[in-house]
Amino acid sequence: MKKLGKTTLLYVFFLIFGLSAYSQREKLYNANADGLQQFKTAVEQAQKENKHVMVQIGGNWCSWCYKFHDFYKNDAELDSVINADYIIIRVNYDKSMKNEQLFAQLGYPQRFGFPVIVICNAEGKRLHTQNSWYLEDGKGSYNKDKFLAFLKNWTVKAVNPDSYKK
């Protein structure tokens, strides 16, 4: 029998430790929530607050979904822009809860992978679907300037034709 080297054992230890920490983390997505109902509630709130709805679609199994969430929640400016202009909901996608009715209504955003972001107006009409890959920085995270530009380009004011009249 071959002995494992110190490097291999260290690697195995960190792998197990990392998976353990990941599995104990608070769940971002409610695996039992009805996405369509979440969406209807968000649209009602968006109408009252004159905001758009930002639908973050992913699952508790998705490490990039956690990276995305942490990226904007840990940045005061990004979190502020989101809260000022959007009602945000996180809709689950996994084997047991595919939220097929909502995703059909939103143009099948799951085709882009996860996380995927869908921006809808206060009437529930899909305005834009964003593949989050285009917001990445190429270094294992997301690019703040790209994400901020994305957010600002889809606000209520940004899509209002009156904003561009002289």
pTM, to two decimals: 0.84
Class of domain 27-155: alpha beta
Q: What is the pLDDT of residue 7?
A: 62
The 10s digit of each residue's pLDDT in 38-97 is 999 999 999 999 999 999 999 999 999 999 999 999 999 999 999 999 999 999 999 888
Other C-beta atoms lying within 10 Å of the C-beta of residue 99:
21
The stretch 144-150 carries a mean pLDDT of 98
Q: Which residues pair with 56 in a beta bridge?
A: 90, 117
Residue 130: enclosing H or E segment and its boundaries? strand 126-131
Domain ranges of the chain: 27-155
11 vs 58, more confident: 58
Distance CA 112, CA 53 (A): 19
109-143 pLDDT, tens digit per residue, is 999 999 999 999 999 999 999 999 999 999 999 99
Q: Cα Rg for the chain, rounded, in angstroms?
A: 19
The strand order across the sheet containing 126-131 reads 86-92, 52-58, 116-120, 126-131
Nearest to 116 by CA among 107, 124, 125: 107
Q: Which pLDDT belongs to residue 97?
A: 86
At residue 19, the pLDDT reads 47
Model confidence at 12: pLDDT above 80: no
